[in-house]
Amino acid sequence: MELKDYWRIVVQRGWIIVLAALLTAGSAYAWSAAQTPTYRATARLVVRADSLDWGRIQASKQVLSNYAEIIRSERVAFRVVDTLKLDLNPYEVLGRVTVSPDPNQLIMQIDVDDRDPALAARIANGFAEEFVSLINEANSQQRREERVDVSIIQQAGAGSLIAPKPLINAIAGAVLGTLLGGLLVLALELLDDTIKSRDDIERYVGKDLMMLGQVPPGQVDLAPYKRSAVSRQPAAKSDLLQNR
């Protein structure tokens, strides 16, 4: 296909692509706007070894994954629910908590998702504080050089909106609609084998065929022919009577 063929397709069927993009974008925006907002609050902990030798630092990195499991344990969840006086099931609370350890920075990030941004912050800080309390209890029974300290380096503030995001979803819907509209236009173009122009004849038959004539576009005005036919009818009747 030549460039003019693509341009012809855009002119003739481009409205299908535009309509599909508008419909999908509008549907995505409406669906997103109808969803209940979800907020995320984040607290961060840092792990430090009292002994700065290489072995202790490596050991601290290795225990980060274990610490993450402890933070998301039933024991900590029950303590958080009890301390904060939450009217929630501890297992339900655990379902809202995510812990991401970073071995390179010796940092653990606690994320809590909830419909209430303030409650998300309270839960995130509650898990951080209860875990620090557990570590301090364990350290009290160990020698100082064997301790691994954990402290809060970032208290969770009011949660930020993470979902839904109507504008982003609308843009994604528009892109999807454009692709679907383009596929539909392509399918219609491949299935359409009617001849509408001289270019269609050349494309299907070839350029070697000689064209004898071309019917101009538009409707032919038949009014003059009708008036002349009506004016000839009386004359024709008189000639017929004379011949009799």
For residue 125, give the CATH number of its domain: 3.30.70.1130
Q: Which of 57-61, 66-70, 159-163 has the lowest mean pLDDT?
A: 57-61
Nearest to 45 by CA among 117, 112, 129: 129
The predicted model gives 40-57 an average pLDDT of: 77
Banded model confidence at residue 125, pLDDT cuts 50, 70, 90: very high
Helix (H, G, I), strand (E, B) or coil at 196: coil
Q: Kindly state whether residue 54 falls inside one of the protein's structural domains.
A: yes
Residue listed under structure tokens 């930020």: 160
Domain count, the chain: 1
- Pick 20 or 217 by higher pLDDT: 20
Residue listed under structure tokens 């070894």: 49
Q: Kindly state whether residue 171 falls inside one of the protein's structural domains.
A: no
Q: Kindly state whether residue 156 falls inside one of the protein's structural domains.
A: yes
Banded model confidence at residue 87, pLDDT cuts 50, 70, 90: very high
Q: Kindly state whether residue 3 falls inside one of the protein's structural domains.
A: no
The predicted model gives 31-55 an average pLDDT of: 82
Q: Which domain holds residue 147?
A: 38-163
Q: Kindly state whether residue 230 falls inside one of the protein's structural domains.
A: no
CA distance 80 to 87: 11
Q: What is the mean pLDDT of the chain?
A: 82
Distances (CA, A) of 99 to 8, 27, 53, 139: 56, 34, 27, 22
Q: Kindly state whether residue 96 falls inside one of the protein's structural domains.
A: yes
CA distance 207 to 19: 36
Query: At residue 132, does pLDDT exceed 90?
Result: yes
Enumerate the β-bridge partners of residue 43: 110
DSSP run (H or E) holding 228: helix 223-243
The predicted model gives 96-120 an average pLDDT of: 93
Q: Kindly state whether residue 240 falls inside one of the protein's structural domains.
A: no
Helix (H, G, I), strand (E, B) or coil at 164: coil
Rounding to the nearest 10 degrees, give the CA dihedral for residues 85, 87, 89, 93: -70
Q: Which amino acid is at 49?
A: A
Nearest to 125 by CA among 47, 63, 71: 71
pLDDT of residue 124: 96
pLDDT of residue 240: 45
- Given a contact cutoff of 8 angstroms between Cβ atoms, the answer to whether 139 and 51 are in contact is no
Tokens of 78: 């029950």
Distances (CA, A) of 237 to 63, 176, 190, 226, 227: 115, 71, 57, 17, 17
Q: Kindly state whether residue 170 falls inside one of the protein's structural domains.
A: no
pLDDT of residue 14: 87
Per-residue pLDDT tens for 183-233? Answer: 998 888 888 777 666 666 666 666 666 656 666 655 555 565 555 554 555
pTM over 0.95: no
CA distance 51 to 57: 8
pLDDT of residue 204: 62
Q: Which of 11-15, 88-92, 169-173 has the lowest mean pLDDT?
A: 11-15
Nearest to 152 by CA among 166, 136, 174, 171: 136
